[in-house]
Every structure is written in C-alpha cells, then in structure tokens.
Copies of this chain bind each other. A is one copy, B any other.
Amino acid sequence: MKNVPFKGIIAYPITPFDENDTINLPLFRNMVEKLVVTGSHGIASLGSAGVMPYLSDDEKEAVTEATIQQVNRRIPTLIGVSNLTTERTVHHAQFAEKAGADAVMIIPMSYWKLTDDEIVAHYDAVAKKISIPIMAYNNPATGGVDMSPVLLKRLLEIPNVTMIKESTGDIQRMHFLRKELGEDVTFYNGSNPLALAAFAAGARGWCTAAPNLIPELNLDLYKAIEKNQLAEAQNVFYKQVELLKFIVAKGLPRAVKAGLDILGEESGHLRKPLKPLTEKEFEEFRKILIGIKN
C-alpha cells in the first residue's frame, strides 16, 4: 500500500474564536488535546469543521502550528490547505509540510466550476512541491465542485495523492472506487450519516467532527467493524445516527459549538456571518445529545 498514515477515526476540531473575532488558540489546543486523549486515531485541522476558508493566511498558519505542537506525534496529523488559487494552495501545503504535518487534505474549491483538467493540474502542481501524501477531498456541498469517481481515479495516479475522502454521501461512489482500483485503494468516508454503510463498503477510516461530542460511540463503531461484528456495528450506529444527521444538517461549526455548550464545555464563538443555532434548534439538539449520553 502506498504512503497512507491514517485509519479508523480521524477527528476534526472546530476553530473557536473569542468575542473579538480572534482565534482562541489555547481553547483550540484544549479541543485537540481532548480528541487525542479520548482515543481518536488521527487529527485533521483546518477542515470544513474548522472553517478554514474563513481564516486569513496568518490564522491558518497559527492553527497548523498549534495542531502539530499539541498532538506532538502521538497520532498522525492531517492539515487542510485548500484554496481557490493554485499558488495559495501550494503555499499552505509547503507550510504544513515544514511544520511537521503527516499529510495534507485538499478540496478543489470553486467559484468558477473547474474542469477535470484544471483540477488534475491543480493537484499535480501541489504534489510536485511537497513530499508528504495528499488526501483528495470531494465535497460538492461545501466546495462546489463534484469530482466524479473517474476523476478521483485519475488523481490517484499522481504519486503522492494516496487517499480519497468522499463526502457526497453516495455509497455508490465508494463501490466504484473499490471495484475499479481493487482492495488497495484507500478511501475515507466524510459523510457522517453514511458511517456504517461506508465501513461495510470497505472505507479505511471515518473523517468526522463527531468525536468533539461523542468519541466513545464513534470509536465503538470502528471497533465492531474491526472485529467483523455486523450486528454490533449496526447497534452502535443506530445509537448515534440522529446526532450524525443533525450536525450535518445544521453545519458542523454551529452544531459542534452547540453540543459543547450542552455538555457544559467551553465552546468559544463563531465567526460572522455564521451564527449560533436558534433556541429551538438548540433544544432539539439537547434532547438528542442527552438521550445518547444517558
């Protein structure tokens, strides 16, 4: 298998702000620490949950360094370095490598829909400038570009593009990747409500912000899969599915913040234009989360 540092539960911290819209780095480091000590198998900052596109270049670099220092090689780290322009993507990928990241994650962000050739050239340009592996991330709901399984297969021909993160929620994409590329292809699931189906289809890991709130259940699902126990996996999945659907439907940064508030943990502020959940949404989530914890 190619250079693939991740498997299991890859946890995504949010990026918390203080009341002056400055990143609260000490709180961020606490959040990362909690994800490590509760057992996650990898840490991925500057993802969608981490509101990466809302950050300035300086802020992204500060979060990158904070992540890597805090994790301190206890588990592998993955850093989001996506940007609308190729030049900025290269810049952030190189920064992450120098800072000590084990891999970078890239989603082809679009304003103008990119052609397949533009996307391949974009990944290729970054890949040539770094030596750590790249996770190609497909999530049309946030990035605005939908990379077909055929395009993902093309990307995997670039030497250090070694991992696919599929977040469309379409299980057939994973079937295609596995069928086309054989058992060696390494794909990860990024759609929370698809966690059980994706593991059943052969996903090597689950990229998720849920461990900020319910790390034990997330890990238990993976353990059941590793033990080849379908009935147990089904059982533990149905315990968490409502929460998984809720946090996706409401947006991960808003929902994780609300969940931390419900659990009585420090959550920080959101960056505008993002606003907290409404009171009604908050109460709906409280019921779901308290129901799970009891």
Please report A residues at the B interface, Cβ cutoff 8 Å.
21, 48, 51, 53-54, 84-87, 108, 111-115, 117-119, 121-122, 125, 141-144, 169, 171-172, 175, 178-179, 193-194, 196-197, 200-202, 225, 228-231, 233-234, 238, 241-242, 245, 251-254, 271-275, 278
Contacts and interface: CB of A to CB of B under 8 A. Distances in A.
A275 B120 CA distance: 11
A245 B114 CA distance: 17
A187 B86 CA distance: 35
Nearest to A180: B242
Nearest to A230: B230
Given A53-B84, A200-B230, 9 more contacts: A48-B111, A54-B111, A108-B273, A111-B143, A119-B273, A121-B275, A169-B172, A202-B234, A229-B230
Question: Can you tell how many copies of this chain the complex includes?
Answer: 4
A98 B16 CA distance: 33
A86 B144 contact: no
Given A85-B273, A242-B179, A197 B201 contact: yes
Q: Is the interface of A mostly helix, strand, loop or mixed?
A: helix
A274 B114 CA distance: 7
Contacts of A254: 112
A20 to B, nearest CB: 11
Counting from the closest, the 6 A-B pairs by CB-CB distance are: A197-B197, A86-B272, A122-B273, A200-B200, A230-B230, A53-B111
B245 A172 contact: yes
Contacts of A252: 112
A121 B272 contact: yes
Contacts of A278: 117
Contact of A196 (B121, B200, B238, B253): B200
Contacts of A241: 175, 179
Contacts of A194: 171
22 contacts: A48-B112, A51-B111, A53-B84, A85-B272, A87-B271, A87-B272, A112-B274, A113-B141, A118-B273, A122-B273, A169-B172, A172-B245, A175-B193, A175-B241, A175-B245, A179-B238, A196-B200, A200-B200, A200-B230, A202-B238, A230-B230, A230-B233
Nearest to A193: B172
Contacts of A230: 200, 225, 228-230, 233
A142 B144 CA distance: 8
Contact of A111 (B87, B142, B193): B142
Contact of A118 (B115, B245, B275): B275
Given A111-B48, A245-B172, A231 B228 contact: yes
Nearest to A251: B112
A221 to B, nearest CB: 12
Contacts of A178: 238
